Structure 1
Amino acid sequence: MDILDEFDINIIKELEKDGRMAFSAIANNLKISNTMVHQRINRLMEQGIISGIKPVLNEKKIGYDWGTFTGITLKKDQDSAKVIEALKLIPEITECYYITGSFTLYIKMIAKDHEHMRRLLYEKIDSIAGISKTESLIELGCAFKRNISL
Structure 2
Amino acid sequence: MEILDNFDVAIIKELEKDGRMAYSTIAANLKISNTMVHQRVNRLIAQGIVMGIKPIINEKKIGYDWGSYTGITLNKDQDSNRIIEELKKIPEITECYYISGLYTLYVKIIAKNHEHMRKVLYEKIDTIPGISKTDSIMELGCAFKRNVSL
Q: How does 1:92-131 map to 2 (within 5 A)?
A: 92-131=92-131
- The Cα shift of 1:2 comes to 5.9
The letter for the 2-side match of 1:39 is Q
Mapped partners of 2:55, 2:110: distance in 1? 17
Q: Alignment partner of 1:72: what SS?
A: strand
Mapped partners of 1:2, 1:121: distance in 2? 40
Q: Alignment partner of 1:37: what SS?
A: helix
Mapped partners of 2:52, 2:40: distance in 1? 14
Query: Structure 2: which 5+ residue stretches go unaligned?
Result: none
Superposed CA RMSD in Å reads 1.0
Query: Who is 2:31 aligned against?
Result: 31
Deviation sequence 1:49-108 (CA, Å, 0-9, x none):
011000000000000000000000000001101110110000000000000000000000
Mapped partners of 2:106, 2:60: distance in 1? 21
How many correspondences in the alignment? 150
Q: How does 1:52-63 map to 2 (within 5 A)?
A: 52-63=52-63
Query: Structure 1: which 5+ residue stretches go unaligned?
Result: none
Residues 1:77 and 2:77 are matched in the alignment: yes
Indicate the percent of aligned positions where both proteins have the same amino acid.
76
Mapped partners of 2:77, 2:146: distance in 1? 31
The letter for the 1-side match of 2:136 is S
User: Which segments of structure 1 move beyond 3 Å, counting only runs of 4 or more?
Assistant: none
TM-score (norm 1): 0.98
Mapped partners of 2:63, 2:2: distance in 1? 43
Q: Alignment partner of 2:145: what SS?
A: coil
Residues 1:48 and 2:48 are matched in the alignment: yes
